[in-house]
Chains A and B, each alone.
Chain A
Amino acid sequence: MAERFDMSVKFAGLKLANPVFTASGTCGYADELADFLDVDALGGFITKSITLKPRKGNPTPRIVETDAGMLNAIGLANVGLERFVAEKLPVIARMKSAVFVNVAGTTIEEYVAVVERLAEEKAIAGFELNISCPNVKKGGISFGTDPAQVEEITRAVKKACGSKVLIVKLAPAVTDISVTARAAVAGGADALSLINTFTAMVIDIETRRPVLANRTGGLSGPAIKPVAVYLVNKVYREVAREAGIPLLGLGGIRSAADAVEFLIAGATAVAIGTASFVEPDCATQVVAGLREYCLRKKIARLDELTGSLHEPA
Chain B
Amino acid sequence: MTRKHASRKKGSHTGTVLSNVQAGECFWKLRLRFDGEAARAFAGFTPGQFIQFDVSDLAIPSTGSIPTALLDGARRNVLLRRPFSFSDVTADADTTTADLLYCIVGPASLRMTTLREGDTAHLIGPLGNGFAVPEGKQTALLVVGGMGLPPIRCLAKSLSIEHPDIETVAFIGSRTVNALPLEERPARFDKGMSLSVPTFATLGVPSMVATDDGSAGHQGPVTECLSQWLRENPDRPREEVIVYACGPERMLAAVAQIANAKEIDCQVSMERRMACGIGLCQSCAIECRVVGSDETIYKLCCQDGPVFDAREVVFGADDA
Contacts and interface: CB of A to CB of B under 8 A. Distances in A.
Interface residues of B, number: 33
Interface in B267-303: 272-276, 278-285, 287, 297-298, 303
A32 B303 CA distance: 10
Contact of B273 (A26, A61, A222): A61
23 contacts: A25-B281, A26-B280, A32-B303, A35-B11, A35-B278, A36-B11, A36-B278, A59-B287, A60-B283, A60-B319, A61-B272, A61-B318, A62-B284, A64-B273, A65-B78, A67-B77, A68-B77, A72-B281, A72-B283, A74-B283, A276-B276, A277-B280, A280-B124
Nearest to A26: B280
B185 interface: no
Contacts of B279: 28, 32
A58 B272 CA distance: 14
A60 B273 CA distance: 8
B80 A77 contact: no
Contacts of A27: 280
B275 A63 contact: yes
Interface residues of A, number: 36
A207 to B, nearest CB: 12
Interface of B: 9-12, 54, 56, 76-81, 124, 272-276, 278-285, 287, 297-298, 303, 316, 318-319
Contacts of A61: 272-273, 283, 318-319
B56 A62 contact: no
A70 interface: yes
Contacts of A77: 282, 285, 298
Contacts of A279: 12
Interface string A14-42: 00000000000111100011011000000
A48 interface: yes
B295 to A, nearest CB: 9
A67 B124 contact: no
A221 interface: yes
